[in-house]
Amino acid sequence: MLDFDALLDSGLFSLGARTRRAVSAYAAFTERFNLTGVSRFAAGMASEGLTLSLAGALVMLALAIPAFRETSDDWLKRTELAVTFLDRYGNTIGERGVKQNDTVPLEDIPDNLIKATLATEDRRFYEHWGIDVAGTFRAVVTNARAGGVRQGGSSLSQQLAKNLFLSNERTIERKIKEAFLAIWLEARLTKSQILKLYLDRAYLGGGAYGVDAAARYYFGKSVREVNLAEAAMMAGLFKAPSKYAPHVNLPAARARASTVLDNLVDAGFMTEGQVFGARRNPATPVDRRDDDVPDFYLDYAFGEVKKLVDQLPPSVVERNFIVRTGLDPNIQKVADAALETSLAEFGRDYKVKQGGIVVMEPNGTLRTMVGGRDYGESQFNRATDALRQPGSSFKPFVYTVALMNGFKPSTIVQDAPICLGNWCPQNYGRSYMGSITLKTALQHSLNTVAVRLAEKFGRKKIVDLAHQMGIRTQLPISAPLPLGAAEVTLFDMTTAYSVFANGGKSVYPHAVVEMRVGNGEVVWRFDRDAPKSVQIIPTQQLYDINDMLNNVVENGTGRRARLVNSKVAGKTGTTNAYRDAWFMGFTGNYVAGVWFGNDDYAVMNKMTGGTLPAMTWQKVMAYAHQGIEIKPIPGVTTPIPKLDEAPATMTVPGLETERPITLSPRAAERLAALERMLKEAEVRLTDATPATAPQPAARAAGPAVPGAAPMPAPVQRN
């Protein structure tokens, strides 16, 4: 052991001596390169710069790799999704997606439009290599001086890269990807090809993609025929099509066109004399104020189509679809008018500026959607995307859980003060009723009873039931949950209430009823391909809760929603500080939800769900229930009571007060089946007919859509 210890000590001493000699030799060697003064500072900065540049390059490369993956699979020939939408009767109501039209060559596009586009979007387009460094620096300086965004720094190539491969999210990561892809495009395409793609793919508002579609939509002519004033107006749309669309805000569109003319002069592309005529005679677009396009509905339906396309079998390679929806155009018009009328008449008194309406059939077929007061002003869909507190309209989930766990409408519950820690909920009138039945508690929307029920049966059961019934948002399990403190969407609430009207069975909410490709082949149909319903609420408990919700309308807070020809069940909802007001209601025929509030969560002037929401609900449903076969609410069989006064019906310009008699769902299903039989017979006849024989004449009935399969003759409604 002593020998080993001596060997270890001597070895460590020798290693240390050799290390010191090596360090001294290295120090002596590096002394030859020792720098002082300015040279030392410059070398240090160069070294640090090289290190940072290498690190930055590695980071940017890591960010660019996901972007380059988007360029696989022959991206240049990849077709975009294009959908033509029909209402429930087969009438065309609108389009969404990109119908690529590259039939107009670049040389046929007017020089005025090309110059106006380049002067406004990228003046140095033919000089840079994908990223306009000088233009970006100029935009940064201009925006800094203005204290906001006044100029964009993206080149035309960068904008094309974003349109082709990326989303509109404003993040540093996206900008880096955009820059790499712009360089990638410049390396693979000529400048003319990039410009042509940009003019063909850019969104210019009004559902128009590309300059030719925009020219036809806004001016009713081919892009070959647009003049300088029209070209300036179109070039102004690239920046913000929803803001400067002439059919939405003509003064703003003309002001933007004037800016484009200034850009033409500033860039040296034209003289002031050349643009003088366009200034004096600005473009006048086609008047589309009478176009009743259900944009909120179409936006939702298009999102649904995107999801369905991803689920189609690989054999379906078509990207152009004809989609029949569940839209009822007349109810849609009445709902739009009802919302606007309510806000115009009572908005100032209640200090409310926005609202939303959703109407479904009990099976989840979306009949109407109003996502806000003005789509042209704001495309944000408050029916599907706004997360708001439902207030007491959430309580039916609480009471349903109680019924499913042994309670009955006649069960006695206590309405008395209760505290959970430091939280002591109170009723709306700050009074208590003592021992009452469960039915009476829901009729008066008592907060203390809902809290006691949640404490007794567990909040998790309430959350689970709400999710099963159609609420998709996260519902935090907290003390105020039974009072509607969690945030939900109007669309989800309407879906959940549809379960009550659908016999307690699950509901698959859908705007799309049927999808066809261009040759008429049906690739998706709701009754064939949608998930099947399952029983969520047992029959007896469903009858009990529906009877209780009917009592809310007959004798409780929802009396303003009563109809003269149909029983109504529903629930009002009002949140703390009057930030949200709801009425959720249903009949045997329809389920509808109405919400009022402000986008900035501003407090309203004591609006409750039983006031304007219930009144607006009644206006829409009074019209919707005219001329149809009235169905009973499951479990509600009592006679329809006579009202003190007949509710007012909704009058819309161009529509009669009386709703015309329409097809029943059973009749519509039979017509659809007959249509399929005729289509199959036509295919068999075509297959059996010799090639030289004359072909049978095509049926006249159906939508006037190029490539669409014949549909049943539309049912005309006033």
| Residue range 616-645, pLDDT digits in tens | 999 999 999 998 999 999 999 877 766 655
Answer with the residue of higher pLDDT: 243 or 396.
396
In degrees, to the nearest 5, what angle opens at C-alpha 479 toward C-alphas 572 and 581?
Answer: 20
| Residue range 5-57, pLDDT digits in tens | 888 888 889 998 899 998 888 888 777 777 777 777 787 788 888 888 888 77
Identify the DSSP state of 590. -
| pLDDT average, residue stretch 317-331 | 92
What is the reported pLDDT for 82?
Answer: 84
Burial of 93 (0-12, 13-18, 19+ CB in 10 A): buried
> Above pLDDT 90, what percent of the chain?
55
Of the candidates 526, 473, 527, the residue with the CA atom closest to the CA atom of residue 495? 473
What is the reported pLDDT for 695?
Answer: 40
Could you tell me the two tokens for 96?
């969404």
pLDDT band at 709 (very low <50, low <70, confident <90, very high): very low
What is the reported pLDDT for 711?
Answer: 38
Of the candidates 408, 530, 525, 400, the residue with the CA atom closest to the CA atom of residue 469? 400
Can you spell out the DSSP letters for 234-248?
A: HHTTTT-HHHH-TTT
Can you spell out the DSSP letters for 19-77?
A: HHHHHHHHHHHHGGG---THHHHHHHHHHHHHHHHHHHHHHHHHHHHHHHHTTTTTGGG
Residue 165 pLDDT exceeds 80 = no
Residue 706 pLDDT exceeds 60 = no
| Residue range 541-557, pLDDT digits in tens | 999 999 999 999 999 99
Out of 128-132, 228-232, 524-528, pick the least confident: 128-132
pLDDT band at 287 (very low <50, low <70, confident <90, very high): confident
What is the reported pLDDT for 46?
Answer: 82
What is the reported pLDDT for 240?
Answer: 86
| Residue range 464-477, pLDDT digits in tens | 999 999 999 999 99
Contact at 8 Å (CB) between 150 and 143?
yes
**CA 355 – CA 369 distance, rounded (Å):** 11
What is the reported pLDDT for 30?
Answer: 74
pTM: 0.74
What is the reported pLDDT for 100?
Answer: 57
Residue 696 pLDDT exceeds 50 = no
Residue 248 pLDDT exceeds 90 = no
| pLDDT average, residue stretch 202-209 | 81
**CA 325 – CA 303 distance, rounded (Å):** 13
pLDDT band at 666 (very low <50, low <70, confident <90, very high): low
> Above pLDDT 70, what percent of the chain?
83
**Three-state SS at 492:** helix
What is the reported pLDDT for 716?
Answer: 37
pLDDT band at 459 (very low <50, low <70, confident <90, very high): very high
**CA 84 – CA 324 distance, rounded (Å):** 9
What is the reported pLDDT for 414?
Answer: 94
Rg (CA), the chain: 33
Residue 395 pLDDT exceeds 50 = yes
Could you tell me the two tokens for 434?
């003592």
Residue 154 pLDDT exceeds 90 = no
Residue 387 pLDDT exceeds 60 = yes
Cα torsion at 652, 655, 660, 664 (round to 10°)? -70
Q: Which residues, 6+ apart, have CB-to-CB distance to 438 below 8 Å? A: 399, 402, 403, 407, 408, 409, 410, 411, 412, 413, 449, 548
- Residues 193-202 as b or e (16 or more Cβ within 10 Å = b): ebbbbbbbbb
Half-sphere exposure of 686 (CA within 13 A, CB side): 8
What is the reported pLDDT for 700?
Answer: 35
Residue 352 pLDDT exceeds 90 = yes
| Residue range 296-311, pLDDT digits in tens | 999 999 999 999 998 8
Residue 654 pLDDT exceeds 60 = no
Answer with the residue of higher pLDDT: 173 or 390.
390
**CA 398 – CA 458 distance, rounded (Å):** 10
| pLDDT average, residue stretch 425-450 | 93
What is the reported pLDDT for 353?
Answer: 96
Of the candidates 451, 450, 452, 476, the residue with the CA atom closest to the CA atom of residue 463? 476
Of the candidates 260, 261, 251, the residue with the CA atom closest to the CA atom of residue 284? 251
What is the reported pLDDT for 701?
Answer: 36
**CA 287 – CA 290 distance, rounded (Å):** 8
Out of 53-57, 220-224, 236-240, 357-361, pick the least confident: 53-57
Residue 132 pLDDT exceeds 70 = yes
**CA 209 – CA 31 distance, rounded (Å):** 68
Cβ count within 10 A of residue 638:
11
320-325 and 82-86 strand pairing: parallel
Cα torsion at 136, 142, 143, 147 (round to 10°)? 160
φ and ψ at 430, to 5 degrees?
Answer: 55, 35
What is the reported pLDDT for 49?
Answer: 84
Residue with tokens 């009754």: 527
What is the reported pLDDT for 262?
Answer: 94
**CA 87 – CA 323 distance, rounded (Å):** 9
Half-sphere exposure of 463 (CA within 13 A, CB side): 15
The mean pLDDT value of the chain amounts to 85
| Residue range 173-197, pLDDT digits in tens | 677 778 888 888 888 889 999 999 8
